[in-house]
Amino acid sequence: MRNSARAIVGISAAALAATMGMATAQAAPAQYNIEVRTCNVEDAGTDARVEVRLNGSGWINLDNPGDDRERGRTDTYNFTLTDLGPITSVAIAFDNKGDSPHWCLEEVIVRGPDGVTIHPLHNWLRRAYTKVSPLNLPAA
């Protein structure tokens, strides 16, 4: 047993499991509902590109058919993602471009298998936030 233990040092857990004939656990897909609420003040809406990242996952483009993120409106986006666990942070990439670039973001609400989290801002976004330097919204 000692020789076989030495032979497997440095192998990843997945490779070790495959070598030993064991299945590796994969995270199950989960449904997420992201609600984006735009403030109800003059010129609050935006035509800019908006993407979010939940708990440091990959970037998700928020775009529905029609005109998203208008004054006083809540837009809903549904996604199937790998289960991310309890959502503790939402990062926003906002390009601040288009006919109506600025945006007054009220809050982002995320519904997932581990419950609901609210990420308030109640403020204007008047500059771009990139994927390298996003706007981070912790849970309230």
Residue 87 backbone zone (phi > 0: left; psi -120 to 50: alpha; other: beta): beta
Query: Domain coordinates of the chain in residue numbers?
Result: 28-138
| Residue 91 host element (H or E) | strand 89-94
109 strand-pairing partners: 35, 118
Q: Determine whether domain 28-138 maps to CATH 1.20.1080.10.
A: no
Percent over 90 (pLDDT), the chain = 76
pLDDT in the model for residue 1: 43
Which pLDDT score, from 0 to 100, does residue 34 have? 98
Alpha-helix runs per DSSP H in the chain:
2-7, 13-19
Asked if residues 66 and 96 have their Cβ atoms less than 8 Å apart, the reply is no
Which residues does 3 contact at the CB level (< 8 Å), separation at least 6?
none
Which tens digits make up the pLDDT trace of 23-68? 445 678 999 999 999 999 999 999 999 999 999 999 999 999 999 9
| 95, two tokens | 């390009």
At residue 98, the pLDDT reads 87
For all residues of the chain together, what is the average pLDDT?
86
